[in-house]
Structure 1
Amino acid sequence: MTPEIRYTITPHHPEAHLFRVSCTVERPDPSGQIFRLPAWIPGSYMIREFSRNIVTLSAEAAGRRHSITKIDKNTWRAAPLAAGRSLTVNYDVYAWDLSVRAAHLDQTHGFFNGTSVFLSVDGQTDRPCLVDIRAPAGADDWQVATAMTPATSLKGGARIGGFGLYRADSYDELVDHPVEMGRFTQAVFKAGGVEHEIVLTGRHDCDLDRLTADLTRICDWHIRLFGKPAPVERYVFLATIVGDGYGGLEHRASTALLASRKDLPYRGMRGMNKDYRNFLGLCSHEYFHTWNVKRIKPAAFTPYDYACENYTRLLWAFEGFTAYYDDLALVRSGVISAADYLELLGQTMSRVLRGSGRLKQSVAESSFDAWTKFYRQDENAPNAIVSYYAKGALVALALDLQLRTQTGGKRSLDDVMRALWKRHGKTGIGVAEDGIFAIVEEIASDPSAEEGRRLAEWLRRAVSGTADLPLARLLRPFGVNCRSDTSAKAPVLGVRMASGPEAKIASVFDGAAAQAAGLSAGDVLVAFDGLRVAAGDVEDMLTRRKAGETVRVHAFRRDELMEFDVTLAAPRADTMKLTLQEKPEPSVRTLRKGWLGL
């Protein structure tokens, strides 16, 4: 059966960063077909107005121009058309966003997410789609990388890695398969019986053997956690490698990644450095999303409404729980050591403690306000919001530790995730706003119904309140010491500096010395006690001072030179250090092994 919706996408003018796209509807609405371009992309919770990148748009029917009118910011309506006639919309998309969210095109490569380039057809989004992915003129050595299914049975059908026709069962599926094209490095490996592919675009010196070996162990662990078979027949990591970058976005059978060259392993590298560890954590995070958020979804996301915000208070579970499991998978799979994992966990705890926003906003509120606050952070963000990623990960940790402790290791957050997978991921039924609490109560009721109710109620308070979590106490039964690191002696201003050539303040923390003196975000520091200060000098100058000293600071605010007397403060006890107890008792070793797999 011929699909009703057919797309063609061509790198039309790579030097001008223009994709030419067409959308053909075999049976358009005779009263006037409506087309829409999404305003956001799932996984990145901000209205991005992708339609602003459409440069030209026109329609044709039977080879003749057909009237089409824009009726709002991302919607067009074609004029009525006689029954039995097909309709084609042609348009150019400007693609110069080098991120994981949109589209990018130049003479070296092309990348796009479907939400940036493919119009949806009102009333027909459930129909199957064909997309003809074409090469730019003269690019005979370009390849294609995508998890989309090649339409091999059709004339012009693509084969994996080639240009031609690809198919999707619906518009949702079509836009959930990002595409990379160009000259790239790739490697294939198997995990859990499933073929995986890693694609690296950009200059690099990566040791692909090391990378694929580590990814194999990580992906294997994820699949074992939820149980075979994996929900994909093939999975693709699409990584754009740049001088300085970091980011990822999940899709149903792939992920788009942005990474720095230094994040990749190189031949002869010994051990595990922090940059590579962070890259593996990013890969693990996006891979876990294959289950959690791509298939286990909030009810608010079933189905997605691409035109507007889709509100949920559950991102603390869908992003926060994923942020907990991303690094946990590294240690459980044996890719990093327990000491490495505890260092990462301490960094997450410290990151949450440093922002007073955690005392003002709950992770449930942060989830709901992702569209207006978390994804639109300004200079006051540390003082006003909490990350549903970071604190959500700590909620997951606290929940996991309590489940393991009260059941003697018989139950854990793993059981909660498997229950969510069985009831929601496999069935496609969205998770209600109170659905996770009910599953936690059920899983925690193994020793007693009262314990189940208690833990579910604790979780409700943890995600709707702003109290700090009792992590030091919860970690103790696992033989983990948790304390604040008091080794830092230098006084502090209480600011976060911006990157760049100037000593510019990015944020001023509530109650800090800088705030008390009147310094503000955007101020450019130029002198301490009459001595010039440049970017990178601030910490060195502070090491020569003591808490309680007053420093005369000169700074430019806009174009005005201002003076401030800053009384330096002692460093806050917000850097957490976690260590393993030596020679723990057998019961402690058992709990620790169940948790860390060591």
Structure 2
Amino acid sequence: MKRLKPIVYRIFPKFPEAHLFEVSCTVPDPNPEGQHFALPAWIPGSYLIRDFAKHVVAIRAASGRRPLFIEKVDKHTWRCDSTAGPVTVTMDVYAWDLSVRGAHLDTSHGFFNGPCVFLRVLGKEERPCQVEILPPRGTRYRAWRVATALPRDGAQPYGFGRYAARNYDELIDHPVEMGEFRLVSFRACGVPHDVAVTGRSDADLDRLGRDLQRMCEHHIRFFGEPAPFDRYVFLVTAVGEGYGGLEHRASCALVCARDDLPAPGVKEVTEGYRAFLGLASHEYFHAWNVKRIKPAAFVPYDLNRECYTTLLWAFEGFTSYYDDLALARCGLISRQDYLQQLGRTITQLLRTPGRTKQTVVESSWDAWIKYYRQDENTPNAVVSYYIKGSLIALCLDLLIRDRTRGRKSLDDVMRALWLRHGATGVPVPEDGIERLAEEVTGLKLGAFFDKALRSTGELPLKSLLSRFGVKMVLRPAESSMDKGGKPAAKPAQRVTLGARTAGNSTEVKLTHVLDGGPAQAAGLAAGDTLVAIDGLRVTPSNLESRLARYRPGDTVEVTGFRRDELFTWHLTLAAAPLDTCYLTLDGAARFAGRLKAWLGG
């Protein structure tokens, strides 16, 4: 059989000061009727139409040295004139999105995801691809290196040069970092792993490598060796404030606050470092759950438009359950730390009025227009398939363990998903997880799934946790900064406005007005700026202390601005709701075995 010539890409940081990549795509045998090229409208793993073509500053085409006419036929597709020889399309791409989803270039580093920069050659998506990654020109960049899981095809380790992919889908699933990053490497179950840290940071990389090695080995052994990749790369961008991650088949992109990384000489797991480890664990678990165990709606990805599925509660929610659970099971965090984080997750759900209006099935389907397009009414209308999905996983895990007397668990369901769907490439139908859970456990779970997935009823968290010696306690929040997870430091009755606020040093601005709360009843709205309560000025720093002088049922006069108009509202304060959760252990010996089987030693 004649071997097809590859599509050849070339990416060059042409003008770091102006944040411009020059990216070319050469097709050796274009469509004789005129070749079409397109940029994806979205990036897998982030369910929002992002229209990456909007960052194309200029585009041109040529066959050899002969310029060709190229025209745009829709928002992200171009057609090149017919020609007998190879066609090269070259773009200048603006890269100033410092996120895990985009492309970013300046004089300190470069980063890109494939969907942002690599044109798709329509009709030739299964062709092999070659990529030449070039360094910027100038001596100031001579120390730059490359970090990526993209297979090398002549490039030296961490070097610029030629890389390869089997097809376009693989090409865009390997983000690339270039710059003077710090690097630590380790092996997990024999598989090489790299951690490249970009941004100013004094993080203890040796400790970071050891901790990530322990976490990675746990996940690999959870699903069963060997790992589904030959090597893996964590691309970490450390910034002043930030948090986010995006999974790929053999790597992940992470953004974190630099202070969340482990500091030299500090042995404890700080709250920030625990959050970073949970983020890394989440994206790593995705290498199995969503990158290889895929919903049928994603096989293949339609990169032109939305790909709808009702299953994000499982692919994101189950991953959110196992991310922190894995840290407890492998000993990176204590059992108490895990229960504290679980209490905070329950708190997040309880503080979301939208849980009484939207099911997680609806949330999954509407991710494209609701979860990823949040506005001032989102808390009242939307439930997170991450948060509620993770708590559904918790309930399902405990329910299975309880009904089978420990013989089965959600772990068995996940491993069956891997063997039946992940290892084989057979996609998961919309009802596949529910059916497989019943098959693996031998239980009738229809009633549970109907309530948890297709209704807005409350989850049986308290009763299920109690069967494992965990007591769920609800209390009012102590302040707007109270995330839950712990008992109150100073139990006291507290009033609430029924609104969320943000502000600078002088203004209190309402960001969200919650359904059924005092602010909504009084007529306040998101965007209103509060000036005074009962004639006394309020600021972000004194709002809590000002409200502490009142009791539930008191009526106050609130003065504030809506746009440029001054308003006065009369608001009857309410008692802070019992929406803050913490978990405690019963301590009874009869629960020891169950807890160990669930949470590990």
TM-score range, shorter chain: over 0.9
Cα separation, 2, equivalents of 1:488 and 1:415:
44
Cα separation, 2, equivalents of 1:567 and 1:495:
13
SS of the residue aligned with 2:48?
A: coil
Gapped runs of 5+ residues in structure 2? Answer: 477-490
2:16 is the counterpart of 1:14: yes
Q: Please give the residue correspondences for 1:24-39 in structure 2 after superposition, counting only pairs within 5 Å.
A: 24-39=26-41
Cα separation, 2, equivalents of 1:267 and 1:258:
20
- The TM-score normalised by the length of structure 2 is 0.95
1:246/1:260 contact within 8 Å kept: yes
- Tell me the equivalent position of 2:458: 468
- Letter of the aligned partner of 2:463 in structure 1? R
Deviations 1:521-576, CA, capped at 9 Å, x for gaps: 11111112222222232222222222221221111111111111111110101111
Cα separation, 1, equivalents of 2:543 and 2:227:
51
- Tell me the equivalent position of 1:434: 431
Cα separation, 1, equivalents of 2:503 and 2:318:
30
1:96/1:105 contact within 8 Å kept: yes
- Letter of the aligned partner of 1:534 in structure 2? T
- Tell me the equivalent position of 1:5: 7
2:349 is the counterpart of 1:347: no
Cα separation, 1, equivalents of 2:492 and 2:344:
15
Change (3 A) 1:507 1:488: farther
2:597 is the counterpart of 1:597: no
SS of the residue aligned with 2:372?
A: helix
1:499 to partner: Cα distance: 5.0
1:209 to partner: Cα distance: 1.7
**Correspondence for 1:569 among 574, 577, 584:** 574
- Tell me the equivalent position of 1:136: 136
SS of the residue aligned with 2:445?
A: helix
Percent identity for Structure 1 against Structure 2: 57
2:379 is the counterpart of 1:382: yes
- Tell me the equivalent position of 1:448: none
SS of the residue aligned with 1:561?
A: strand
2:485 is the counterpart of 1:480: no
Cα separation, 1, equivalents of 2:156 and 2:459:
51
SS of the residue aligned with 2:293?
A: coil
- Tell me the equivalent position of 2:236: 239
2:148/2:177 contact within 8 Å kept: yes
- Tell me the equivalent position of 1:492: 496
Cα separation, 2, equivalents of 1:186 and 1:527:
52
2:4/2:127 contact within 8 Å kept: no
- Tell me the equivalent position of 1:54: 56
Q: Please give the residue correspondences for 1:111-260 in structure 2 after superposition, counting only pairs within 5 Å.
A: 111-138=111-138, 139-151=141-153, 157-260=154-257
Change (3 A) 1:456 1:546: same
2:238/2:257 contact within 8 Å kept: yes
SS of the residue aligned with 1:351?
A: helix
Change (3 A) 1:57 1:218: same
2:547 is the counterpart of 1:511: no
SS of the residue aligned with 2:532?
A: strand
Cα separation, 2, equivalents of 1:326 and 1:539:
34
C-alpha RMSD of the superposition? 1.1
SS of the residue aligned with 2:267?
A: coil
1:4 to partner: Cα distance: 2.0
**Correspondence for 1:338 among 335, 340, 344:** 335
Name the stretch that deviates more: 386-395 or 454-463: 454-463
- Letter of the aligned partner of 1:326 in structure 2? D
Gapped runs of 5+ residues in structure 1? Answer: 152-156, 446-451
1:4/1:27 contact within 8 Å kept: no
- Tell me the equivalent position of 1:68: 70
- Letter of the aligned partner of 1:490 in structure 2? R
Name the stretch that deviates more: 336-345 or 498-507: 498-507
- State the 4+ residue runs in structure 1 displaced beyond 4 angstroms: none
1:590 to partner: Cα distance: 1.3
2:552 is the counterpart of 1:547: yes
- Letter of the aligned partner of 2:464 in structure 1? L
**Correspondence for 1:538 among 520, 539, 543:** 543
Deviations 1:115-151, CA, capped at 9 Å, x for gaps: 0000000111111100100000111110000010110
Cα separation, 2, equivalents of 1:170 and 1:142:
27
Cα separation, 1, equivalents of 2:263 and 2:211:
13
1:546/1:568 contact within 8 Å kept: yes
SS of the residue aligned with 2:131?
A: strand
- Tell me the equivalent position of 2:363: 366
Count of residue correspondences: 582
SS of the residue aligned with 1:150?
A: coil
Deviations 1:396-429, CA, capped at 9 Å, x for gaps: 0000001111111111111110011001101111
Cα separation, 2, equivalents of 1:555 and 1:280:
42
